[in-house]
Chains A and B, each alone.
Chain A
Amino acid sequence: MSLDPRRLAPGAPVERRARARRVGRGALFLVMVGVAVVMLYPFWVMIVDSLKSENQFLSGHGFSWASWRTLTSTIPIAQEVVSSTIICAVSILLILIVGLPAGFAFAKLKFRASGVIFLAIVSAMMVPLQAILMPEFVNITRLGLTGGYTGAVLVYAALGTPFSVFLFATYFRGVPDELIEAGIVDGLGYVGALWRLVVPIAIPAIATVTVLQFIQIWDDLLVGLLFIQNTSERPITVGLAVLAAGRTTSIPALMAGSLISALPAMIVYLIFQRYLVKGLTMGIDR
């Protein structure tokens, strides 16, 4: 019936091969468990070290809730989480408001030199903040935007815009022209078509941009460190990094704070995993 050569082989080797295969699978499973242990190591460190008082940490024995109980007095964690949340939300909103129409325009409403301008914006993706850090810092400070979140939000938005424009444009290229044509002819106008037709179609792309930018901004240090002047408006990563670099804060408290800072991004990540993968491989995934 079948020409599978394994079927034509005599009985004994088949059995041996099957057993070898089972052993192989078992070994593979063990290797994967080993890798999992390594990848879970940061969480283990954070949990175990946070469950110690400072003395217990230094002596290496015993567990307690001490560091968690005194956490809010060691690190202004609640305020920092609020700051991080505000910065993330406003930056992402700005990136979407600016990136979505631009991506749509570059894909469907081509204008003079739009190809060249698109290329210029996309290449801005490759410019690291450090390369323009000094002028950027002086500009934002001169404009008086480092008190409050405005400066940091603007920098995050500018850094996130090139990628989101690229992603939206790539996404809209896959949408048939007729669909949008019909909306515009139906008298929706361009803004109406954008809002009522394009945005609903683009929900998956919006999700991808949101998730990627959320993790990027929530986890960032440099922008929050330099473009937010007031310590009372610091986001959580900056708070942790500054305390860690100061080397006077107890490590159990830092680990408890780290765990809290890691949670939101992890939850977002686990729920929206597939959008993340989509965003990362945008442009080469066929």
Chain B
Amino acid sequence: MTGSTLGARAPRLTLRRRRQLAGALFALPAVGLVVGLIAVPIGQAIYYSFTQWDGLTSTWVGPSTWSQAFHNPNLWTALENNAWLLLAVPFALGLPLLIAMLLHQRVIGWKIFRSIYFLPTAISWVVLGLVAERFFAFQGTLNSLIHFVGLGHVSTNMLGYESTALSALGITFVFTMIGTNTMLFLTGLATLDTSLEEAARIDGAGRWRIFRHITLPHLSRFIQLAFVMTVIALFSALFSLIFVMTGGGPGYATTTMEFLIYQTGFAQGDFGTAALYGLILFVLTAIVGIVQLRLIGSDE
């Protein structure tokens, strides 16, 4: 009301001010939610990582909590498990790339195949974990397959042994990532100018050379995105699979960082150490994020 009468002198400025005010007010709820439930807890985690904390009362200990944490062999086991699981990443990217290339050939029924390949993406990792357990179980599909190819004397129980449980988890992880990554690569391939490939083929370039020098460079941004999403999933989305398939065991064989946080906090009631582990996980994912920003930055 007053704005319209006073604004006669400098109407543009008032309009701009009002627009800025409206913008700030529109952004406020989102900012509040993110600050309250993400930023503040990060701050709290930093404080509590220096304390002894059971969720109710905390007592300040100081930096010694950190040196103590790094002397805990379980932390190193979890970090080691995460490191080993990184070996699954090339498969979680390579197989989808291959599948996307196949789909891109557009043989009869490729749209149906595409829908089938993406379908597991919609299913909860809880359910996929349950199915994977059936696959690796002593009386499960894997052993039936081994029997079928005539190796009846070999029977595996991958989830039952410390030496193999992590591999079984890694294989399951690769399966769960196939849909999403294939989708990404297929989208990337769809934006590829086919006349380029055609021209190269007429010039006598072989399939491999076309793939290496035209397709792959074109897909680089999509591969980067898939890489970052896969690594982040590896650090922070395995919880459902581990919870259902192994509970972190046998022993600590499949306890990754995120599961160690859950166990330390909720099974052992050591909230302070769990908060500290959370920060370590935070730093690890932040590194991946920064690497991604660097990669995107170097692109432009």
> Which residues of chain A have a CB within 8 Å of any CB of chain B?
4-5, 25, 28-29, 31-32, 35-36, 38-43, 45-46, 49, 60, 97-99, 101-102, 104-106, 108-112, 114, 117, 120-121, 123-124, 126-139, 141, 154-155, 157-159, 161-162, 165, 184, 190, 194, 215, 218-222, 225-226, 237, 240-241, 244-245, 251, 254-255, 258, 261-262, 265-266, 268-270, 273, 276-277, 280-281, 284-286
Closest B residue by C-beta to A184: B19
A221 and B26 form a contact (CB under 8 A): no
Residues of chain A within 8 A of B191, CB atoms compared: 285-286
In the complex, A117→B105 CA distance in Å?
44
Min CB–CB distance A95 → chain B (angstroms): 9
Best-surrounded residue of B53, B128, B243 (most CB of chain A within 10 A)? B243
* A32-B107, A39-B116 known; A109+B19 contact, CB < 8 A: yes
How far apart sit A146 and B258, CA to CA, in the bound complex (Å)? 22
B33 adjacent to A161 (CB under 8 Å): yes
CB of A159, distance to nearest CB on chain B (Å): 8
Provide the residues of chain B in CB contact with A215, threshold 8 Å: 121-122
A281–B184 CB distance below 8 A: yes
- Do A157 and B21 contact each other (CB < 8 Å), given the known contacts A127-B282, A135-B45, A266-B122? no
B135 touches A45 (CB 8 A): yes
- The smallest C-beta distance from A3 to any residue of chain B, in angstroms, reads 9
Q: Are B27 and A221 in contact (CB under 8 A)?
A: no
Query: Is the Cβ of B285 less than 8 Å from the Cβ of A126?
Result: yes
Task: Please name 23 pairs of A and B residues whose Cβ atoms are closer than 8 Å in the assembled complex, sorted by A.
Answer: A28-B107, A32-B103, A36-B113, A98-B33, A101-B29, A104-B26, A105-B22, A110-B23, A120-B39, A126-B232, A130-B236, A132-B44, A133-B265, A134-B48, A138-B55, A159-B38, A219-B124, A237-B124, A265-B124, A270-B119, A276-B183, A280-B183, A286-B191
- The residue of chain B having its C-beta at the shortest distance from the C-beta of A155 within the complex is B37
Interface footprint category on B: 35 or more
Residues on B with C-beta less than 8 A from A124 are 34, 38-39
- Chain A proximity of B199: nearest CB distance (Å): 12
The reply to whether the CB of B94 lies closer than 8 angstroms to some CB of chain A is no
- State the main secondary structure of chain A at its contact with B: helix
Identify which of B67-75, B159-167, B273-281 touches chain A: B273-281
Chain A residues whose CB sits within 8 angstroms of the CB of B21 once the complex forms: 111
**B100-129 interface code vs A (CB 8 A; 1 in, 0 out):** 001101011110010111111111111111
Bound CA span A261–B125, Å = 11
Which residues on B sit within 8 Å (CB–CB) of A276?
183
The chain B residue sitting closest to A221, CB to CB, is B240
Q: How far is the CA of A215 from the CA of B191 in the complex (A)?
A: 26
Contact check: which of B117, B125, B243 meets A36 at CB < 8 Å?
Answer: B117
User: What 8 pairs between A and B have smallest CB-CB spacing?
Assistant: A109-B23, A128-B236, A158-B37, A102-B30, A219-B124, A269-B122, A135-B44, A101-B26
B89 at the interface (CB under 8 A from A): no
Taking CB atoms, residues of chain B closer than 8 Å to A157 are: 33
Q: How far is the CA of A137 from the CA of B134 in the complex (A)?
A: 33
Q: Beyond the given A121-B31, A132-B44, A251-B134, please list 7 additional residue pairs across the A-B interface where CB-CB is below 8 A.
A: A32-B107, A39-B119, A124-B34, A244-B244, A258-B130, A261-B127, A265-B124
Interface residues of B in 140-199 (CB under 8 A from A): 141, 175, 178-180, 183-184, 187-188, 191
Most buried by B among A110, A114, A154, A221: A221
The SS class assigned to the B binding surface is: helix
Instruction: Answer whether residue B50 sits at the interface, using C-beta atoms and an 8 A cutoff.
Output: no
B36 interface residue per 8 A CB criterion: yes
Q: How far is the CB of A67 from chain B (nearest CB, A)?
A: 14
Shortest Cβ distance from residue A162 to the other chain B in the assembled complex, whole angstroms: 6
Q: Are A219 and B126 in contact (CB under 8 A)?
A: yes
Q: Flag if B258 contacts A45 (CB, 8 Å).
A: no
- Interface pair B23/A60, CB less than 8 Å apart: no
Are B119 and A269 in contact (CB-based, < 8 A)? yes
Is B183's CB under 8 angstroms from A39's CB? no
Contact of A135 with B48 in the complex, beta carbons under 8 Å: yes
B262 A130 Cβ-Cβ under 8 A: yes
Q: Are B121 and A109 in contact (CB under 8 A)?
A: no
Cα A190 to Cα B188 with chains together (Å): 38
B265 CB contact (under 8 Å) in A29, A31, A137? A137
Minimum CB distance partner of A265 in chain B:
B122
B217 → chain A, closest Cβ, in Å?
A: 14
